[in-house]
Structure 1
Amino acid sequence: MSISNNVQGTRRLHLFIRIFFHREIGDEMSFYGLIIGGAAFILIGLFHPLIIHAEYHFGVKSWPAFLLFGIALSIASLLIKNSILSSILGIIAFCSFWSIKELFEQRKRVARGWFPKKPRGV
């Protein structure tokens, strides 16, 4: 590979970036997508054990709490002007909504013996 091929490849990359991302090389980058994506990844990971814990201690009767929490955070997400914070609150809200479904799925997993059942009277 010659130096002229490297230069030509670099020019093609710069052209690609200009056309598809409407940016020039050296422009400031936006990290919002990465921040929001990372937050979604972490929040989904945090909600998984939360569902297991809630089903173990409270059963599926805890679903209204997840519903109210999701509604409250959805409203808060609409009222907040900061894009990143609003997005993260929306993600938490929808993680909470999804948790309602997962509570009932967790009950099935417990019935199959995949997760421990809470002993009666404890």
Structure 2
Amino acid sequence: MEFLAHYHLTGLAIGVATFLIIGLFHPLVIRGEYHFGTGCWWVFLVMGIASVAASIVVGELFWSTLLAVWGASSLWSIGELFEQRRRVEKGWFPANPKRQAKSKK
């Protein structure tokens, strides 16, 4: 952290990490909906609440910020999970045939 602060790179590092975190959540939502449907929304909720709470407790600005970004991305992903279901219904993404077979029985 001292290196980042000394060379004024903290903001850049937070920006890059934020970009990577948001980029990670996109495939997590797609795969989560594919394998579990919207039933996995609570995982994003728990992860989001825990991360936001941790961001309040952590004193280091860099890690606190990244925890807050992780938490916000987790909470945002709940809505995206339900939007992903709509995208699957429209045929924009493949539906999981195993899950469809179970729900038709």
Alignment partners' CA distance in 2, 1:67 and 1:80? 20
Alignment partners' CA distance in 1, 2:70 and 2:50? 10
CA RMSD of aligned residues (A): 1.0
Matched residue, 1:101: 79
Matched residue, 1:84: 62
Answer yes or no: is 1:43 the counterpart of 2:21: yes
**Segments ≥4 residues shifted beyond 2 Å:** none
TM-score by length of 1: 0.74
The code of the aligned residue for 1:89 comes to: L
Q: What does 1:61-76 correspond to in 2, within 5 Å?
A: 61-76=39-54
How many correspondences in the alignment?
94
Q: Extract unaligned runs of 5+ from structure 2.
A: 1-5
Alignment partners' CA distance in 1, 2:17 and 2:72? 13
Matched residue, 2:11: 33
Alignment partners' CA distance in 2, 1:61 and 1:94? 19
Alignment partners' CA distance in 2, 1:71 and 1:30? 30
Alignment partners' CA distance in 1, 2:43 and 2:26? 16
Identity of aligned residues (%): 49
* Structure number having the greater helix percentage: 2
- Higher relative CO (Cα under 8 Å, sequence separation at least 6) belongs to 2
